[in-house]
Amino acid sequence: MPSGGPLPIDAVLAQVTDVLARAGNAVLVAPPGAGKTTRVPPAVVDAGLAGDGQVVVLEPRRLAARMAARRVAAERGQEVGDEVGYEVRFDRRAGPRTRLRFVTEGVFTRQLVADPGLARVGAVIIDELHERHLSGDLALALVRRLQRTTRPDLRLVAMSATLDPGPVAGFLGDCPVIVSAGRQHPVDIDYARAGDDRALELRVAGAVRRALRDDRELDHDQPGHVLVFLPGASEIRRALDATRAALGDGAEVDLLPLHGDLPAAEQDRAVGPSRRRKIIFATNVAESSITIDGVRWVIDSGLARVARHSPWSGIPSLRTEPVSQASATQRAGRAGRTGPGRCLRLYTRHDHDGRPGYDAPEVARVDLAEAALSLHALGVGRLAGADAPDDVGDSDGGETGAPGEPGAADADAFIWFEPPPAAAVEAAEALLERLGAIDARGRVSALGRALLRLPVHPRQARVVIAAAARGLTREGCALAALLGERPIRLDRRADFGRSGRGAAAAISADSDLLEDLEAFEAARRDRMAPERLRAAGLDPGAVRAVDRVRRQLERLAAGLPDLTEGDAGRVTGARARGAEAMTADEIDAALRLAILAGYPDRVGRRRRAGAAEVVLAGGGSGALAATSVVLDAPFLVAVDARERGRGQSAVIHRASAIELDWLLDLYIERVEDSDELVWNPSPERVERVTRLRYEGLILDEQRDPVGARRDPVGAAAVLAEAARAAGIERFLDRDALAEWRARVGFCAGVVGAGAGKEGDGGEMVVPDDEDLSAALDEVCVGLTSFAELRRAGLLEAVKARLSAPERARVERLAPTHVAIPGRRRVAVHYEPDRPPWIASRMQDFFGAREGPRVGEGRVPLTLHLLAPNQRAVQVTTDLAGFWQRHYPGLRRQLMRRYPKHAWPEDPANAAPPRR
């Protein structure tokens, strides 16, 4: 029995080792506090299940890996680094005698790239799989892939507190599931009242005071610690300040932060034993994997910082979101590990009950570029997304296998435990190609293998290599560290505006990253004194974190191979020259070029001089934050951009200016040179435009209005399309067009009825919209503007769609005017589905016994007989009948109303009065 005393997990250790020996795989479900992290790994070692190899335990966080290694080593009476060791990013305590190694999931993935067969590993244990980090999912799938191919002897244990074990067991070949009892003490949970809209830090401070007061009233022998869950380091800092002010100077408690960016010593102080009461302000790093003895109270903000990535824009986002019910349960359980506890949730019960049951796995929401590069380096030929074909689940012989088991035809395909969105896979592959890490077939280049040797995102590694190729390795490593860690400037993180800058900050118009680099180098010269850093507006913890990463990257970069110009992406090899031989301007340009090498897909152009709005390559837009110092550069790289929401422009917190010539020199294959005719809506004309585009982003544009006339056919097509979009009827008399169509329609009816002279031909077709559009195309030839089109006689072109004999027939059968006794020309109106008609004063028809006809005398016109007020008093086609039957009665009325006008008794024989 280990010296740490009995734990609930001890009851199933023999079952775990027995199952692992027989089946090779096992899923272990054990609640928090059962002891699975510290007891199962050494039991696997002691049972000899790893043979001569190591047992590697994957932890989701660096703090958990270090703490677990120390705890196990202490229980076995050893020092860390002997039989029990750990390895996290930039920190390793292991040696040749190490048999049990605790590592972070990301470190394990990189070790797999270096040793694809895990030759020195006999068993892998994945701890806290329920957290569903991308690296954990990747490790699970990679180990399973090894078991199906070259390492059937490799043993695997998946351990979880809350994850449904069924799908995991199925993915591992329907392996046994072992369930362990826990030792959880009761935890009373209180919720906030609705309507408390105070700032989060004030609510935290009030909850801490309540916890300390209630704890004193319970009169415990040993003071209980308070664990406060907050979403991020900035909220922790504000809550610390508010709580310190609320408690006053006399409070006998230690206020301690706990998050992943703190130095190991500060993390150890927060989680280590203490007889003095501690108030620990933590992110979700304390949610699982680690045990803080003596925590009696949990104060839960119900919030966490969640990383997301948008494949459609390529821009990440880091959002503060409500945690799931499962996470809330995990957090509350921290108060019941060593005795009864209390949990104060700073949100309502109604809020809690409406939250999702579990957090979405990272594989469904984060950038996959780093994982994809590792998979390609392992020889995976195809990355399946969430839309992978169904036959991937078929096993050998056509039988259906366990979830995720590939068929024989897909043995080289990578099968995820839960596949990512296909769009995210495609975006990752596209980025790796842009960085030069892989070719179009997914094969890793020499540059890609160099990127893999640096334990950072491929973008950051690309910056290091591009800077190193110019003799600026140290500066490139610092830039990569500044890119990967949280911002060192407090004002930029909070986006307070330019007025919030510290007096020590130098303003540069070239690059926010280079300004950060300048501030970082100044901090190093000042030996990173916290007081000096705060006075300069810098975060001491962030500066120290950047320096740790920078040092480790420098050590690793020293062993990188010299890449040829092609391998490095057309970056000239100037490593031998060194920074000491370069001018300040050369260094500035070289580093900005290195930044461009890491972000070639984030190129943007300022919408107009001096504006904050930026148009981005590939579509989308962004706005420079008020804290950015890139004031005047027309072209830039959006280094640190955060998406606000689909359809909204991104906020560009950090940018770096670039030169147009750099894109032409480095990425000429991505630059398109176009010479085209385009429509300019402002002057309403066709113009010849020559453009340089970088992935759709216009780099340069020249407009030549006169040049459009050199291509009359092309200009006509553009003009006609613009006219159609504006409405063709804008360019001719609509009434005249309607009348022409009606006249042709009338003639077609007359001809169809057998009218007309011999030789008139067949039935005519009324010009439709298709004829109108064709006439437009004809008229536009030789024209370049709407003004010219309006004068071009489009209606005549429509008429010309008929042959000359057909047009003559229209004029003969459907004249536009006729004569009557009192007028020599009266307009004839033609309308669809109505007989043609004319209108004139009744007196103009005196002396006539019948009205005029059209259609060569076949069709009488409908007569609108108007009174002196120009209103029709009669509509008829039988003028003689009107004179006889209706005129006498109307005459008496009209004489009374219009006595000055002539109203003869016999209008058929009367002369019309002069007009």
Tell me, what DSSP letter sits at residue 26? E
Identify the band that residue 89 occupies on the pLDDT scale cut at 50, 70 and 90: confident
Mean pLDDT over 650-658 rounds to 92
Fold matches, 8-179 and 187-362: yes
What is the distance, to the nearest Å, from the Cα of residue 747 to the centroid of all Cα atoms in its chain?
Answer: 62
CA distance 27 to 713: 72
**CA 261 and chain centroid, separation:** 26
Instruction: State how far the Cα of 214 lies from the Cα of 683, in Å rounded to an integer.
Output: 76
Buried/exposed code over 784-816 (b: 16+ C-beta within 10 A; e: otherwise): bbbeebeebebbebbbebbeeebeebbeebbee
Ranking 131-135, 142-146, 818-822 by mean pLDDT, the lowest is: 131-135
542 close to 530: Cβ distance less than 8 angstroms: no
Separation of alpha carbons 390 and 377, rounded Å:
26
Mean pLDDT of the chain: 87
Domain boundaries, the chain: 8-179, 187-362, 367-432, 444-565, 728-813, 817-909
Q: Three-state SS string across 164-208, please? A: CHHHHHHHCCCCCEEECCCCCCCEEEEECCCCCCCCHHHHHHHHH
pLDDT for the residue 221: 59
700 vs 264: which has the higher pLDDT: 700
Q: Are 278 and 240 in contact (CB under 8 A)?
A: no
Element (H, E) at 88: strand 84-88
Length of the chain: 915
pLDDT at 311: 64
72: left (phi over 0), alpha (psi -120 to 50) or beta: alpha
% of the chain at pLDDT higher than 90: 64
Residue 309 clears pLDDT 80, i.e. is over it: no
DSSP 409: G
Cite the beta strand spans of 591-684 per DSSP E.
603-606, 613-616, 621-624, 635-642, 650-657, 671-680
How far lies 709's CA from each of 681, 713, 782, in Å?
A: 17, 9, 7
Contact 322, 355 (CB under 8 A): yes
811-842 pLDDT, tens per residue?
999 999 999 999 999 999 999 889 999 999 99
Q: Is the pLDDT of residue 506 over 90?
A: no
Mean local confidence (pLDDT), 65-89: 93
Q: 618 falls in which pLDDT band (50, 70, 90)? A: confident
Which pTM does this prediction carry?
A: 0.76
Q: Give the whole-angstrom CA distance, residue 313 versus residue 615.
A: 12
Angle, CA 281 vertex, CA 275 and CA 282 arms, to 5°: 110
The answer, yes or no, to whether residue 756 has pLDDT greater than 80, is no
Mean pLDDT value of segment 177-183 = 85
What would the CATH number be for the domain defined by 187-362? 3.40.50.300
Give the DSSP H or E segment for 750. Answer: helix 734-752
Which helix or strand (DSSP H or E) is residue 101 part of? strand 100-104
86-96 average pLDDT score = 90
pLDDT of residue 317: 67
Tens-digit pLDDT profile for residues 797-811: 999 999 999 999 999
pLDDT digit string, tens, across residues 364-375 = 888 999 999 999
What region does 527 belong to: left with phi over 0, alpha with psi -120 to 50, or beta?
A: left
Give the mean model confidence (pLDDT) for residues 358-366.
Answer: 87
**Cβ atoms of 391 and 406 closer than 8 Å:** no
Question: What distance, in Å, lies between the first and last C-alpha atoms of the chain?
Answer: 128
DSSP 30-83: --TTS-HHHHHHHHHHHTTTTTTSEEEEEESSHHHHHHHHHHHHHHTT--TTSS
* Rounded distance between C-alpha atoms, residue 753 and residue 739, angstroms: 21
Instruction: Summarize pLDDT for 238-284 with one digit per residue, the tens.
Output: 999 999 999 988 788 999 999 877 887 888 888 888 888 999 999 98
Q: How many CB atoms lie within 10 A of CB 147?
A: 19
User: Residue 418, Cβ neighbours under 10 Å: how many?
Assistant: 16
Average pLDDT over residues 580-585: 84
d(CA 143, CA 364): 20
CATH number corresponding to 8-179:
3.40.50.300
Which residue is listed with tokens 């935290």?
A: 204
Whether 352 shows a pLDDT value over 70: the answer reads yes
